Amino acid sequence: MIADAPASLRPAIILADKEADTLLELAIALSDRCPDLCRMLADEVDRAKIVAKSDLPSNVTTIGSIVRFHDEGSGAVRTVEIVYPSQADIALDRVSVMSPIGAGLIGLSEGQSISWPDLQGRYRRLSIQRVTNPSKSDER
């Protein structure tokens, strides 16, 4: 079982209203396959500040964001795109929001850090260095 840090020790996060609804639906739909991760994602949505998409700051990690982050434990710097599970492809650095890294990064802003468990349940401190979001013209 993946243990998680109390919400009071995690940084504030922001989610767009419709994306928050979609994430909760995903967590419920996949709860039989990955209950711990789904619970953690649902907890993140529950504690998030929910705003209209038009009010979401441009430096907040959302689905479709390209995120450069630093793993403080290993020293590695990675750049990934946060995507829905059906679009995930690790070879293309497309990380599912339903993976430990994806669930940990969603809603964070540039400059924020979070201690978040990996697949083995070990906590890693992830620090967001840059968030690039699709332009408004790319939105459907």
The string of pLDDT tens digits covering residues 123-132 is: 889 999 999 9
**Residue 59: which pLDDT band, with cuts at 50, 70 and 90?**
very high
Cα separation, 110 vs 122, in Å, equals: 23
* The three-state (H, E, C) secondary structure of the chain, written as one string: CCCCCCHHHCCCCEEEHHHHHHHHHHHHHCCCCCHHHHHHHHHHHHHCEEECHHHCCCCECCCCCEEEEEECCCCCEEEEEEECHHHCEHHHCEEECCCHHHHHHCCCECCCEEEEECCCCCEEEEEEEEEECCCHHHCC
Domains of the chain, start order: 11-133 (3.10.50.30)
pLDDT at 138: 45
Better pLDDT: 134 or 17: 17
| pLDDT tens per residue, range 71-106 | 998 999 999 999 999 999 999 999 999 999 999 999
pLDDT at 6 over 90: no
Q: What residues pair up with 50 in beta bridges, in sequence order?
A: 15
For the chain, give the number of residues: 140
pLDDT at 67 over 90: yes
Cα separation, 113 vs 59, in Å, equals: 14
